[in-house]
Structure formats: C-alpha cells, structure tokens
Chain A
Amino acid sequence: MSQETDFEKLVDLYYPSLYRFAFSLTRQESEACDLTQETFLIWAKKGHTVRDETKVKSWLFTTLHREYLQKHRRRVRFPQVELEDAETELPEIAPVTMGNIDRYNVLNALSQLDENFQAAIALFYLEDHTYPEIAEILQIPLGTVKSRISRGIVQLQALLSDRVTASIEREVARG
C-alpha cells in the first residue's frame, strides 16, 4: 500500500471530525478549513514519527489545537480552577429548552463559554473522546479535564436557557 493511499485513508477517517472541532473553536468556515488543512500538512511532514497507530487520532487533534492556540496568542493562560468555587446548583432546564438545542444556538453558546472550557467541552461532545484522550490532546491533567467539562456544561446549560428564553420572548412579542 502506497504512502499516498495511506494518507488518503487517514484524511478520510479524520478530516470531518477535525473540521468540526476546528469549527467549534473558531466558528468560521475559512479558519476551520485552514486549521484542518494545516494539521494534515504537518502530518505529511512529521507523522512518520508517530510509531503507535493508536496515538494517531490524539496526535491530529493535539496538533490542530496547538495550531489554533498559536493563531490566538491573546488567549489567557489557564488558571488553576478550584472545585470548591464551582457552582453547586444546576439551573433548571425547562422542557422547551431541549427542543431548541440546535447547532446555531450551541455554537453561539460555546463561543461565550470561559475560554478555558471551550476546547474541553468541544472534545467532550464531538467524537468518542475519552477523558484520558482529552487530557492528552489538551496537555492538561485528567482531573482538570473533568472539572473543566463539568463547569463548562453548567455554563452551557445556563447560556442555552437564557438564549431560549430570549428567543421565546421575541416570538411572543411578535404575536
């Protein structure tokens, strides 16, 4: 099997999920395409250093995330999150909220999340990433992954509840 065939198979296997991860971070098609292309370009040059086939997926997502961070240098450094400071009460989710969770609302809400949580939340929901895989991709401890995801979900629930409430109020006002 030629190297080109192997590369094409790799692209076919991972490019949709990589693109969706990139899009969930950037919310821009052009930037997400560039990040995805750049990731495979880097793989073409350096992927031969990955000996363990089970690490390929994590390597690709790690590379994409690193490229994303390099393009957004103004991002704050990740602070240490104390679990004791986290909210203890989940906001109530009205039944109507579930029906209005579409990708537009989710992506908008995702963009408003604490920047520390966005990548972890995106990986949590996209594909079948386990917590150890997410920790490896983001280069953070396993415990930190779980705490960021928990807090991120709580923020996401609150944002989506607010967004739906505002949407319903506008619809009611229009009659």
Chain B
Amino acid sequence: MDKNRRDELVRTREWSERVQDANAAGPASSNEDSSPEEQLVRRESAEFNARVHHALAEIPVPPNLREQILARSKIVPVRSWGQQKHLLAMAAALALVATLSFAWLRQQEDKSFAGFRSRMVNFAVRQYSMDLHTNQLAAVQSFLTQNGAPTADSWLPSGLQGGPVMGGANLSWQGKPVGMICFRHHTGKTLYMFIINSADVPGVTPRFNAASEKTLATATWQHGGKTFLLAGDVPLQELESLAKS
C-alpha cells in the first residue's frame, strides 16, 4: 500500500461528517476502488480512533469551572472617550479626594498587630473578595507566590489539611504583602487564613493566641518566619482546635 494512502487511512474519523477526511474514500463497507488491505486498515483505524475520541470526550469537567470563569472574567463595557469626559473629570476629582483621605487615614491606622488583625477581620466581614476561585490548594499557593504574597508553603495545621479549599487573594496591609487562603468549614461558613511575614507586623506575639474580633473568632500563631491569622464565624473553641491541631 502506498505510504501516503496508509497515512490517510490511519486518520479515518467517522464520528462526525464534518471531520471526515476528504481524501479517505467512502465508508468502510464500500468495496469500490479499495483493496482488502485498505479496507482492513480503514476499518481498524476508524474503530480505534472512534474509541479514543469517546474516551477523551469522557474527561470530566469540574462542576464549578463555569462559575470560576465568570467570576474571574468581568466584562467592562468600553465607551467612546467623548461620552466620558465629564465622567472622567468627576472620577479624577473623586480619586484625588480618596487618595488624600486614604493617606490621612493610613497615618491614623493602628500599625501594630492588633491593627493588622482588625483590618483583616474587617476585610473578611465586609468585603470577602477572592482573586482566585479554586479547590486546589497548590493552585492558590502558586498564585500567591507568583504575586509576591506570603503562603503557607507546605505547612498547614492538621485541622486544615485536606479541608475544602475555596480560593485565595493577594492583599496588602500597610504596604506589606498578605496572602489569603479560604477554606470551607463543615457548617458551610468560610474560614479565612491570612499570612504575613512576621517581620512586617510589629509587636506580634510568638505564642498561640485565640480571641474574638468583632463578629468573628480568630486564632493566630507563627511558623517559619510567618504569622498566620485564622478567622471565621464559628465557635472560638472550634477555631482554636482547628488551628492548634
């Protein structure tokens, strides 16, 4: 059999009319202009390729992938610049006021560990915005590392190991990078774990500490030069046992 003819027959695809090779003549049952060898190669190739096609089509798609895509890809409508002139001027004025206010407020903010904890709890209570939605801890760790945020590396309290991961975010506090990893508690509530380099938080106590902050229970500890803050709307004792185990 001609080498080129064999190559064409090997590529026989019969699961869709759209992709049938135009050079492969007729279905396997046709006896016209096809030697017995060609018919055999076409028939076996068609069956083999169909099975591989169906096997790959069975690759399961993660059920939450669609939501992750939509959450991550926000559409911003683009208007012409002419229509936006007055809006731009207003936005510029507001941005200036916001910048000056932020700078003044930051001067007033508590820069101690208590201030860090309060700020992170506020974030968890009021904003709760993840940059990355995924159930893969490694993906969150990689995302945080790529963005210069501290991560848990390969260490987690045993109470959180294997727990359902929801995603993470790249935050900052007083200009210092903060990593956030979210876990789903068995009650359905979200547990927020904030990670900051211990050197970036003045006055952080090295020993384990559990306390309530506003409406959330919190637990803090240090490991590997990093300070961990776990916060969640769960009983304080339970959060403490998760973090301490």
Contacts and interface: CB of A to CB of B under 8 A. Distances in A.
Interface of A: 3-4, 7-8, 11-12, 15-16, 19-20, 23-24, 29-31, 33-34, 36-37, 40-41, 43-44, 48, 83, 86, 88, 90, 93, 98, 101-103, 105-107, 122, 124-126, 128-131, 146-147, 149-150, 153-154, 156-157
Nearest to A41: B73
B3 interface: yes
B223 interface: no
8 contacts: A4-B75, A29-B136, A33-B134, A33-B139, A101-B51, A124-B13, A125-B52, A126-B53
Contacts of A34: 134, 139
Given A40-B69, A103-B58, A130-B19, A7 B75 contact: yes
B19 A43 contact: no
B77 interface: yes
Contacts of A129: 19
B105 interface: no
A19 B61 contact: yes
A100 to B, nearest CB: 9
B68 A101 contact: no
Nearest to B71: A37
A93 B48 contact: yes
Contact of A44 (B7, B53, B56, B73): B73
A88 B4 CA distance: 10
A11 B139 contact: no
Given A3-B75, A150-B10, A36 B19 contact: no
Contacts of B89: none
A72 B218 CA distance: 40
B189 interface: no
A83 B207 CA distance: 69
Contacts of B57: 20, 126
Given A16-B61, A90-B6, A33 B68 contact: yes
Nearest to A22: B59
Given A30-B134, A90-B6, 6 more contacts: A4-B75, A40-B72, A93-B44, A98-B51, A146-B11, A153-B45
Contacts of A40: 69, 72-73
A90 B45 CA distance: 10
Contact of B69 (A11, A124, A128): A11
Interface in B23-72: 41, 44-45, 47-49, 51-53, 55-59, 61-62, 65-66, 68-70, 72
Contacts of A130: 18-19
A149 B11 CA distance: 7
Contacts of A156: 52
B108 interface: no
A56 B138 CA distance: 31
Nearest to B7: A150
B80 interface: no
Given A3-B77, A40-B69, A44-B74, A102 B55 contact: yes
B66 to A, nearest CB: 6
Contacts of A126: 53, 56-57
B191 to A, nearest CB: 20
Contacts of A11: 66, 69-70, 73
Residue among A103, A105, A125 with the highest chain B CB neighbour number at 10 A: A125
A140 to B, nearest CB: 16
Nearest to B77: A3
B83 interface: no
